[in-house]
Amino acid sequence: TQEDIAELSDLSLADLLDMEVTSVSKSAQPLSKSPAAIFVVTQDDIQRAGARSIPEALRLVPGIEVAQINRNRWAVTARGFNSVFASKMLVLMDGRTLYTPLFSGTFWNQQTTPVENIDRIEVIRGPGATLWGANAVNGIINIITKKAEDTLGGRVKTIVGSNNIEGVFTYGTKVGEDAHLRVYGQYFDRDDYVDANNKDTNADWNMAQFGFRLDMLLSSVDELTVQGDVYNGNAEQTIDISDPTSPNLANVLNDTIALAGANLNAKWTHKVSDTQDLTLRIYVDRTERTDGLFKDTRNTYDLDFQHRFALSDSHQVIWGLGYRYISDDIDGGFQIFAAPSDRQYQIFNAFVKDEISLVENELKLIVGSKFSHNDFSGFEIQPSVRLIWTPAAEHTVWIAASRAVETPQRAPQDLTLRVAPVDLGGGPIIPLILANQYAQSIDMLAFEAGYRVRPLENLSFDIALFYNDYDNLATDDILGPSIIGGIPFLVAINDNKAKGESWGVEVAAQWRPVESIKLSASYSFIDVSIHDAGSTDPQFNSAEGASPSHRVVFRANWDITEDLQFNTTLYWTDNIRSRDIPSFFRVDLQIRWQVLENLEAAIGVRNLLDDRHPEFTGTFGRRSSEIERTAYFWLDFTF
């Protein structure tokens, strides 16, 4: 309700730092006492920033790079290595994985839950594989939706923008004595942006999605949550493709991606005591993605069990088991060819985490490991050790060392790619990238340290430093030119012949000079260095300049009166050298007015100072857009 949002806006810094998070240790703990670089985006943050998608909300997080490629595509990563197919982030929503094993990344244009249903987004920069497993390499994005009992009543929200229209409906009700149900529906239609020549880039995007969440209290110690979603939509794209029938071996494909899927997720929690509980989660997820290059149909079945208990007042243990079965079918063609076209593969995993209090309420040691087996790379061990020191309530220091492994991908093992032709001086030639069944998992050793301090009641700082050492980084090794069927090809093969390091610092601060004003700022710096390990890939070190070295976010939220808010967000992003993207400065403004007790209105503008700017370029011939200035207006009615 609007009252809930107002109450969250009034939280003190101490309340925000004491907010319980679950992503670091799979059990609730205060954010200020979490031994990891964690940042929480609340529902209030999302609304004040005017974000209408998950990637837009993630722009607020220090250390997270969000670059919009066109109207329906984003490149999202933490701590470097950004690309259209960024592959080192574990993305979850209520325990369900959102990234695809096709390339170990996330199709963000297929993740469109209404932002109004999100309670918070917990983001960990750095590895979290001890608890969460493979792909939690550079970070974890854990999206947690609201409980059904927190959304009682009806809500209709209509958003009209300079190039989009959107509607959201939710209704929550009590069913029975101890159960609550929420149903929702969402539809949006967003027009494309233009390119540097002011031409449309054929990237329109529309989606309809419906779903529900049922929370039941089965007994005084048992809770059950069942939720599901179904969606269908289209995302347009323009791709430069190889065409052996064309004189220059090239053509342009104006295409529409058909997006569809459904999922069902159930979680049972049994509370044995205040120090012991059991959790069982099971979900099924079906996704379909069809375009002019290939069709990807995928079914995922996942089972996860967790047990938390205390050996003593100073010794807590969490352990768990998991199993995932994936069945997919990839129907390709000349551009993308899969062999085999269909696969069934399994992932088994177990984890244990031991939390020991060395000095009561002051010094704590956390050790643990994830053990997993998959059909691509076999058995993997991902250990971690963390130490957290709290000498006083206002000070927290933590250090950590971890090993993490990227989820083995279907693409380098099974997919042969023919991409847009290049001219190396002898005329156009089509790059042919061969699959490699011996491709290895990318692994990383990470060393981190952090310090949180609240020197004043209304002022806090959070500092994190990191150094990552990567091995088996992906390369496309050149084998040489070849004539196949009269067509000139430049043949390469997927391999893992690069190593690398990255280091950086992330600083976040919050200050409330008066109760009605909240100021937030963050600064992120990263440096990436890639080394050749016998590769013939001419671009083996392209990741060195794939992310901006410096990034700044500043937010000012002013509650002018009880019914009127003024919000502004400023972003400065350094240039992206390897993609020839200049630095840009973006200013977003918003005014929200509580017109009536059950009616809110808002008006806002994004990218106020610039009519448009580029943020990223496509990969494998995909055309990109320049991100335009846009305005929006919304009416939010509750009943």
Helix (H, G, I), strand (E, B) or coil at 369: strand
Are 383 and 402 in contact, with CB atoms under 8 Å apart? yes
Q: What gap in Å lies between CA 263 and CA 596, rounded to an integer?
A: 37
Q: What is the reported pLDDT for 503?
A: 97
Q: Residue type at 338?
A: A
Helix and strand numbers (H, E) in the chain are: 6, 37
Helix (H, G, I), strand (E, B) or coil at 541: coil
Q: What is the reported pLDDT for 5?
A: 41
Q: What is the reported pLDDT for 207?
A: 98
For the chain, 639 residues long, the average pLDDT of each consecutive 10-residue run is 44 62 66 86 96 96 95 94 88 92 90 95 84 78 96 97 95 95 98 90 96 97 98 95 92 95 98 94 97 94 95 92 95 92 92 93 92 86 93 94 84 91 90 88 92 95 97 92 93 93 97 96 97 88 91 98 97 94 97 97 96 89 91 97
Given the structure tokens 């609304």, which residue do they identify?
47
Q: What is the reported pLDDT for 27?
A: 64
Burial (0-12, 13-18, 19+ Cβ within 10 Å), 266? middle
Are 465 and 407 in contact, with CB atoms under 8 Å apart? no
DSSP for 136-198 reads -SSEEEEEEEPPGGGG-EEEEEEEEESSEEEEEEEEEEE-SSSEEEEEEEEEEEE---B-TTS
Q: What is the reported pLDDT for 336?
A: 94
Which residues, other chains included, contact 46 with Cβ-Cβ below 8 Å and sequence gap of 6+?
57, 115, 118, 121
Which of 461, 426, 98 has the alpha carbon at shortest distance from 283? 98
Token output for 157:
């929200």
